[in-house]
């Protein structure tokens, strides 16, 4: 019985070796196919690259190409300089726009209900920073008065009427 066991183990071990050998053959075949595909793809890439280079260099000398590359480099440097100048100009323009009057509103009203119509007005003019001026006109039968009040940060050092406040509120730049 001991001899049978030894033979069984030998046969079992031999069987395992055989399975591993078959697996190695399958792996070798897959590796071979993968390598063959990689070589074909590499060869195609080389052929296509050669065609492109031949088409690119057809009828041109190295000196011509060097001149073209040098001209392109100068053009790129010139464009970069112009881009920087344009960016500076845009920054200056943005600062000017912030300080320019962009909010403008007019309100007409009648300060004296017993006489006339909406002949009086208040005009608010503001920039983005809330600086500007408010003009107001009071009209009556005897006279017409015009007032100008400076505005800093949406506030005036002079007292504002309700109409002037409303004109400034509507003229505010968002």
Task: For residue 174, give both structure tokens.
Answer: 């968002």
8-40 burial, b at 16+ Cβ within 10 Å, e below that, comes to: eeeeeeeeeeeeeeeeeeeeeeeeeeeeeeeee
Among 115, 116, 118, 114, CA closest to 106: 118
- In the chain, pLDDT over 70 holds for what percent of residues? 83
* Widest Cα–Cα separation across the chain: 140
- Is the entire prediction scored with pTM above 0.85? no
For 14-46, write each residue's pLDDT tens digit.
Answer: 444 444 444 567 778 888 899 999 999 999 999
Helices (H), 58-130: 62-99
- pLDDT of residue 109 exceeding 70, the answer is yes
Rounded Cα distance between 121 and 73, Å, is 62
CA 74, distance to chain mean position in Å, is: 27
| Mean pLDDT to the nearest integer, 148-173 | 91
Q: What is the pLDDT of residue 20?
A: 45
- Rounded mean pLDDT of 137-145? 85
């Amino acid at each position: 019985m001991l001899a049978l066991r030894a033979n069984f183990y030998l046969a079992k071990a031999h069987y395992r070796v055989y399975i591993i050998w078959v697996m190695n053959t399958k792996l070798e075949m897959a590796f071979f196919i993968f390598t063959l595909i990689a070589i074909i793809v590499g060869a195609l890439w080389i052929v296509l690259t050669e065609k492109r280079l031949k088409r690119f260099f057809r009828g041109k000398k190295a000196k011509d190409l060097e001149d073209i590359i040098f001209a392109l480099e100068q053009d790129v440097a010139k464009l970069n300089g112009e881009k920087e100048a344009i960016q500076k100009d845009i920054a200056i323009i943005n600062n000017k726009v912030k300080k320019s009057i962009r909010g403008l509103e007019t309100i007409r009203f009648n300060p004296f209900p017993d006489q006339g119509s909406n002949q009086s007005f208040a005009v608010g003019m503001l920039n983005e920073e809330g600086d500007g001026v408010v003009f107001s006109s009071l009209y009556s039968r005897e006279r017409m008065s015009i007032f100008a009040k400076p505005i800093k940060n949406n506030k005036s050092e002079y007292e504002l009427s309700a109409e002037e406040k409303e004109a400034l509120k509507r003229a505010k730049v968002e």
